[in-house]
Structure 1
Amino acid sequence: MIKNYLKIAWRNLIKNKAYTVINVGGLALGMAVTLIIGLWLLDELTYNSYFSQRHRMAQLFQSQTFNGNIGTGPAMPRPLEKALRDGYMDNFEYLIMSSWTNDLYLKYGENSISRPGNYMQREASDYLELEILKGEKDGLREINSIMLSESTAKALFGQEEPIGKVVTASNQYDLMVTAVYKDLPYSNSFKDTDYLIPWDNYVNNNQWVKNAEDNWGNNSFQMFVLLADNVGMEQVTNTIRNVKKDLNEDTAEFNPQLFLLPMEDWYLRSNFENGKQVGGRIKYVWLFGVIGIFVLLLACINFMNLSTARSEKRAKEVGIRKSIGSQRNQLINQFLSESFLVVLFAFLMAVFIVVLTLSGFNELARKEIEFPWSSGKFWLISLGFVLFTSLLAGSYPALYLSSFKPVDVLKGTFQSGKYSGLPRKILVVVQFTVSVAFIIGTVIVMQQINYAKNRPVGYDKEGLIQVPTFSQDFSGKTDLMRSEFLNSGAIVEMSTSSSPTTRIWSNRSGFNWEGKPEGFQEDLAWTEVSPEYAKSLNLKIVEGRDFSREFASDSTAVLINQTAKKYLGVENPVGMLLMDDDTEDPNPPLKIIGVVEDMIAQSPYEPVKQAMYVFDRFDNFSYYNMRLNPNQSAGQNIAIIERVFKEHFPEIPFQYDFVDAEYAEKFAAEERVGTLSGVFTALAILISCLGLFGLTSFVAEQRTKEIGVRKVLGATVFNVWNMLSKDFLKLVIISCFIAVPIAYYVMNGWLQEYPYRVILKWWIFALAMLGALGITMLTVSFQAIKAARSNPIKSLRTE
């Protein structure tokens, strides 16, 4: 019986080739989009699935209050480790201190490379579940050891045996390779961990880390934990919440609240507002999940519409089958078999489309998704997906077609009914409501990105590069290198800074000044810079003056930005002293000598943070900032800079970043969302237009004789076009008026997440409506004009 159903289904598909192409093509596109979104969602939802004990893994976070505003982050003070080990260790299996992930220069023989990694405590290899390829699992046992990822070991040693070899770190100290581990997978929070060095080495080689041992105010470290078997996240959080506040009076005024952020939340739910967890990338998971469902729904609607539109052509077939004894359930099974066959073909085409486009999608989405050919689970889910889509697309046509009465059909008195086309009209309205809403959403996302991109950044990022200087070799050579680079003609100015131009790495508090409000809790971004910092960035001085090498007093000078001026609450800050409130070991007062224009160093969607730029007295810098010579090509300038760099630092790899490219990275996530939304919107519109094209073709075919009569009686091409088009245009206009309020509500809610955001304007919605109407007119007009220009003699000829 099933074989017979499939045979009849095949014959019907072959007989109606145009119908089959539109149906299979539309479904294939819809299923391809759903498949590729499904693979993306799986990759997002299984992030960090590499870790078998991820349900017990967490990172310590804290919330602190500054003047009523609560800030949340993972930065921890060193004394907290001892406090937790002494009083709360029964809650943890592992408690691991870690540095931030930083690039380190590694040298072996003639090979010198830069790789990111961490200084971590001894249990890190177990915590990270490293797959050891060579060497020992307990590779951080000795203070001067290093564990390398497989790719890093290959880059350093090539085919040589790495275990036991000595590498030089940042030209400062030697480390022995004790283990090589397999690179951690891409979908992993520790994917950039290309090396691990013992935490004790970090302490021994950095005086500031040693000094932080008893400093509760220095939040410069990370802490990862693996919970004991018998405790839960919330239970431990409640136990340790007030540890920092209870043990240190100096930080108690900021009401520090400790809590554990589970590994499951690191990637998808890591955003906080005023101390509350408010989501994160999970919003994109929901967004693309909804898009995938709707795109598949659009493709299924096409199938339903075309199947029911052809009902009169199938009516006699149904009548004859019923008259010779076919039961309704047999007819339903037959039509569902046709649906299954169409969906199966569409699925095979969809798989082909996904395989062809997956590499491009990965590049666009910054993923490393592979098609799961060998996954039995995937194919089982795919079979369920095909069956579900078959039922979704074929159930209504099957029930509708099998309901015809054979007596009416065979007598020739069968009428499809006054309201028989209503379901099709409703489905068309649904299709274009979704499509118009997608258009509006995509336009608003791109508007928001461009709005932030066009925001004044406060400095000139074009022609500005930054060179990392993560080695003691650079210390004491700033003036020499500035002179060398300037004399080379490749740059017009150079400065140093303790943070990159596009980031804030340090924040400070603990200052007093004349007129400071009682109880005011200051929080200022802190960057140590050389005197030419403002010149190299073309940063405008709006009050006072810039740093000068001619004034010895500038060693304790500071520049503040315009936001800091408002934040401190002073009208004339130039000349004002900022005094250290540490009475036991105070630093010299800092004198404000000038106010600079606000520059964006954090998110371009957020307000500029109050910042201070302090004269760097101790060579505490991490970057050279260089303004390239505009009279030469960038490539020529970079080549000269590299040559000069290598003359003085031959054993350090030359690296650089264009600041404008680094700034552009701040828009990367939103731009990917906008681009992907645009692609999916275009496909949704294409699928809707395929369905509309099929329906228009069928209507024109149904009304062939009517069109012939009208032409004979003098109807023009425009008259015929108007007759065939107006009904569809009405449906699309209805769709627009439904889509606009829905899109406004959703996108207005999305924009509320951005303090610096675009204002929704009427023309965005008008443009989307006009676009939808234009696309509809083009789609319908092709068939309508074709029908209107046909020879009326052919349509009126007797059969």
Structure 2
Amino acid sequence: MLKNYFKVAFRNIWKNKVFSAINIVGLAIGMATCIVIMLFVFYERSFDKVHQGNIYRLDEVQKFEGMVAPQKVALSMYPMGPTLKNEYPEIRDFTRINAFNKVPLRYGEKKMELPAALWVDSNFLQMFDFKLIEGDKKGVLKEPNSIVLSEKSARSIFGEENPIGKSLVHYGGDTLALKVTGVMEDVPANSHLQFDALLSFSTIARPDFMNNWGGNWLVTYLELAPGTDIASLEKKFPAFLQKYMKEGGWKFYELFLQPLADVHAKSVDITHDYINYQKFDRSYTYIFSIVAIIVLIIACVNFMNLSTARSTGRAKEVGIRKSIGAQRSQLAGQFIGESVLLSFISLVLAVILVKLILPYMVDFSQRALGFAIFSNPLLLLGVLAGTVLVGVFSGLYPAAFLSSFEPVRVLKGTLTIGKSNFRNALVIAQFTSAVFLIIATGFAVKQLRFMRDKDPGFSREQVVIIPLDSKSSPKYQSLKDELLSGSFVEAVSGSGQRLGNNLHQTGVSFKGEGPLRKMASSQVIVDPDYLSLYKIKLVVGRNFTHDVSENARTYIINESLAKELLKDEPKLTLQSLIGRRFGFSGMDSTSTIVGVAKDFNFNSLHHKIETLCLFNQKDWGYSEMSVRVKGKDAKQAVESIRSVWSKMSPESPFTYSFLDDHFAELYEADSQVSEIVGILAGLAIFVSCLGLFGLASYSAERRIKEIGVRKVMGASVAGIVALLSRDFVKLVLVSIVIASPIAWWAVRRWLQDFAYRIDIEWWVFALAGVLAIAVALLTISFQSIKAAMSNPVKSLRSE
């Protein structure tokens, strides 16, 4: 019997080639889409799963006066880890981390640069389950000046030599002699901690660090006892802060714990999160999963629609089989089996599509996605089970529908199958989903363009950023003068931090008409040409000068800070702030505000503009140099800068980046989301149109004699096309009406995550509707025109 079922199934597939191809291609696209998206989702969810310990990251909420809003930060204070461990038995252990990038090392005469390294406590490799190839986890980081290399780094430095015990020199900034004490496996790509080397914290730690309450410059991880009540432990933290932070400083902080599994995907609202590789919003993985399943369901709906629409073609088969004793359950089982068979044929095509698509997805997403279906039993089992489920889901309604035919009516020829409200509902559901995705894509692209194109209030094009270390920073002025003497450089400036990051905050004091006011503000140390290079406009006051007597005594604040200062000063105006005493807490009595700069977005548009003060203090040195190059030949300009650097500061490595590239990275996740949703929207439309094409073909075929009669009676081609298209266009219009309010609600919710966002404009909905109708008409018209232009003699010959 099974053999007979297979024969009937294959014969039916071969007999209806077009409709079978539509089902197979639609299901294959839906399956391939689901597989690729789920590979991405599972990869995202796999971050940090290698670590078995009950590990939490210690984060802060900072709520200083003068801040636009309380701010979650991924930083903590040096003494917190050991002190918390001593205070609370629930905390079994701690480890602290501080990152530094582009690490210049020398081995003999050989120089190289590691992309990233971490200062860590000696127990780091005991808390985190990174695999050590050589060395003892308990001892490799115990001594000062110890360094553990990744396998890749060890090979690039030492080749085939045994690196253990070898000496390296860190020659950028402070010179350090380092001893290789261990080699570990390369860090997995799905770890939020990414590094090429580990250095012992004891190398740079000093005893006075334990008194540095208030200095947030590292990340602390805590290992808790199993079963620890996190909420109960967090309730103890206010008393802990009050105990150790004197003079009321504890009032400005809250502490909270974040599970290690949430660090990568649930830290979107946490700032100063510098050690979090490929940070991604987990809510987007839910969105991708839902949309991918929608595309698959649309493909299944095609199967249902086409199977039931062509039910008259198999009515006699059902009638004959029932008349010779076939049970309804047997017929239903056969039809479901045919659906499952079609699903497995689609799976073969889907696997081929995934293999072709995956390299592009890896490149686009910058994720190490893999599809080793035959070497991963769980993946293979999941795909096969999913295929059976898709087949059963697709065939369930057609099986129930076809097996319900009464044999007497079928064999007498009195069975009539009219319009199906259920089938129409399925078409509406398909196009509702597709229109929703078109609208969502439109707004996602608009928001991304808005963020990229909105004037941030400063000029970031043609700006080269060059990091400075403790050896090159003292040579800043000489480097600047030499660069300005060349023909490729327009302006040079130095700063303590880079635009496009969460800027450091510090305590500041202001003396207006009332009592001395203390608050917190973001701050950047800059040289006198900073505003000129970045073309930041002044609202009132003046720019910094090169007069050395003004060094460390003049401040320029932004409009947001000016408004904050004026909030409790009714007698003062913006202009009257000029000359007022202002500065870091414990300020020089002669330091004053000399200008107010127009607000500019020094961070991404995800965040509101914070209060900011710019401070001219060249004695402290700068951490990076900004160089605005002339013309469009950036490559030649960079080579010119490199030449000057090699001559003036040969002992420091030359590294650079373009500021606009840095800002592009801030919106990389948003760009990926908009593009993926756009691709899924296109696939949803395509699969929906495949089904529409099949239904239009069937409709034209079923009404071929009607069309012939109408043509003989004088109907025009345009009239017949309109007749055949009208019902389908009505369904698409209903879909647009349903999808629009749902899309409005979803887009509105999504845009609330952005501090600066576009308006929800009606024309995007109208454009999406017009596009959906146009695509539907184009799909339908092909078959409609073909039917309308056919020779009526052929269709009426049998009459």
Superposition TM-score tier, normalisation by shorter sequence = over 0.9
Contact 1:24–1:342 (CA under 8 A) maintained in structure 2:
yes
The separation in 1 between residues aligned to 2:766 and 2:289, in whole angstroms, is 27
Residue of structure 1 in register with 2:578 after alignment: 574
CA distance in 2 between counterparts of 1:629 and 1:479 reads: 20
Counterpart among 187, 202, 205 of residue 184 in structure 1: 187
- Of the candidates 199, 214, 222, which is equivalent to residue 211 of structure 2? 214
8 A contact 1:105–1:113 mirrored in 2: yes
Give me the whole-angstrom Cα distance separating, in 1, the residues matched to 2:790 and 2:266: 60
Q: How far apart, CA to CA, are the structure 1 residues paired with 2:181 and 2:241?
A: 36
Q: 2:143–2:202: 8 Å Cα contact kept in structure 1?
A: no
Of 617-626 and 18-27, deviating more is: 617-626
CA offsets 1:658-684 (integer angstroms, 9 cap, x no match): 111111112111111000000000000
How far apart in 2 are the matches of 1:789 and 1:745? 45
Q: Map 1:437-516; keep pairs closer than 5 Å.
A: 437-469=436-468, 471-515=469-513
Deviation, structure 1 residue 479: 1.0
The 1:587–1:168 alpha-carbon spacing in structure 2 relative to 1, beyond 3 Å, is: farther
User: In the alignment, is the contact (CA less than 8 A) between 1:439 and 1:681 conserved in 2?
Assistant: yes
Give how far 1:521 is off. Answer: 6.0
For the residues of structure 1 that align with 2:168 and 2:532, how far apart are their CA atoms? 39
Deviations 1:678-705 (A, max 9, x none): 0000000000000000000011011111
Normalised by the length of structure 1, the TM-score is 0.94
Partner of 2:246: 249
Match for residue 106 of structure 2?
107
What number of residue pairs does the alignment pair up? 778
Higher mean C-alpha displacement, 426-435 vs 79-88: 79-88
Q: Matches of residues 540-619 of structure 1 in structure 2 within 5 Å?
A: 540-569=537-566, 571-572=574-575, 573-582=577-586, 590-619=591-620
Shift of 1:104: 2.4
Tell me by how many angstroms 1:303 deviates: 0.2
User: Alignment partner of 2:645: what SS?
Assistant: helix
State the distance in 1 between where 2:330 and 2:483 align: 85
Is the contact made by 2:439 and 2:765 (CA closer than 8 Å) also made in structure 1?
A: yes
Match of 1:59, SS? strand
1:528 and 2:512 are equivalent in the alignment: no
Paired residue type of 2:464: I
Q: Which amino acid aligns with 1:396?
A: Y
Deviation digits for residues 438-463 of structure 1 (CA, Å, limit 9, x no counterpart): 00011011111122222211211111
Secondary structure at 1:242 match in 2: helix
Contact 2:558 2:596 in 1 (8 A): yes
The letter of the residue matching 2:150 is: S
Cα 1:579/1:15, change in 2 over 3 Å: closer
Cα deviation code 1:97-146 (max 9, x no counterpart): 22245442222222221421211110012222221223333211110111
**Hey, what does 1:415 align to over in structure 2?**
416
User: Could you tell me whether the CA contact under 8 Å between 1:245 and 1:256 is conserved in 2?
Assistant: no
Query: Alpha-carbon deviations, 1:349-408, whole Å to 9, x = none?
Result: 111101110111122222111113211111111121011111110000000000000000
Aligned residue number for residue 202 of structure 1: 204
Cα distance in 1, alignment partners of residues 234 and 363 from structure 2: 39
Structure 2, gaps ≥5 residues long = 272-278, 567-572
Aligned residue type for 1:95: F
Identity among equivalent pairs (%):
33
Please name the residue that 2:159 is paired with: 158
Does the 8 Å contact 1:432/1:732 carry over to 2? yes
Contact 2:729–2:776 (8 Å) recurs in 1 = yes
1:717 aligned residue: 717
Residue pair 2:106, 2:112 contacting (<8 A) in 1 also: yes
Q: For residues 154 and 375 of structure 1, what CA distance do their matches in structure 2 show?
A: 30
Q: What one-letter code is carried by the residue in structure 2 that aligns with 1:215?
A: N
Matches of 1:273 and 1:227, distance apart in 2: 22
- Asked if 1:402 corresponds to 2:400, the answer is no
Distance 1:421 1:541, change over 3 A: same
Give, in angstroms, the shift of residue 212 of structure 1. Answer: 4.6
Given the alignment of the two structures, is residue 626 of structure 1 paired with residue 627 of structure 2, yes or no? yes
Contact 1:579-1:589 at 8 Å conserved across structures = no
* C-alpha distance in structure 2 between counterparts of 1:753 and 1:113, whole Å: 38
Distance (Å, rounded) in 2 between the aligned partners of 1:516 and 1:2: 93
Q: How many Å separate the matches in 1 of 2:543 and 2:122?
A: 47
The secondary structure found in structure 2 opposite 1:695 is helix
Partner of 1:227: 224
Q: Secondary structure at the match of 1:509?
A: strand
**3-state DSSP class of the match of 1:95?**
strand
SS of 1:140's equivalent in the other structure is coil
Which amino acid in the other structure matches residue 197 of structure 1? Answer: L
In 2, Cα distance between the equivalents of 1:529 and 1:257?
31
CA contact (8 A) 2:506 2:584 kept: no
Relative to structure 1, the CA distance from residue 562 to residue 356 in structure 2 (aligned partners, 3 Å threshold; closer, same or farther) is: same
Q: Tell me how far 1:510 sits from its aligned partner.
A: 4.3
Partner of 1:207: none
Point out where structure 1 has 5 or more consecutive residues left out of the alignment. 205-209
Structure 1 residues 81 and 250: CA distance shift in structure 2, 3 A: farther
Instruction: Look up the SS of the partner of 1:32 in the other structure.
Output: helix
Deviation at 1:538, TM superposition (A): 2.3
CA distance in 2, matches of 1:33, 1:195: 38
RMSD: 2.1
1:555-574: CA deviations, max 9, x gaps? 32222122221122152322
Q: What amino acid is aligned across from residue 370 of structure 1 in structure 2? A: G
**Alpha carbons of 1:245 and 1:510: their partners in 2 closer, same or farther (altered >3 Å)?**
farther
Q: Summarize the Cα distance change of 1:770–1:668 in structure 2 as closer, same or farther, 3 Å threshold.
A: same
More moved, 744-753 vs 310-319: 744-753
C-alpha distance in 2 between matches for 1:545 and 1:648 = 33
Q: How far apart, CA to CA, are the structure 2 residues paired with 1:725 and 1:57?
A: 61
Shift of 1:96: 1.2
Post-superposition Cα deviations, 1:64-104, rounded to whole Å, max 9, x if no partner, equal 3234942221221223234324322x222321122245442
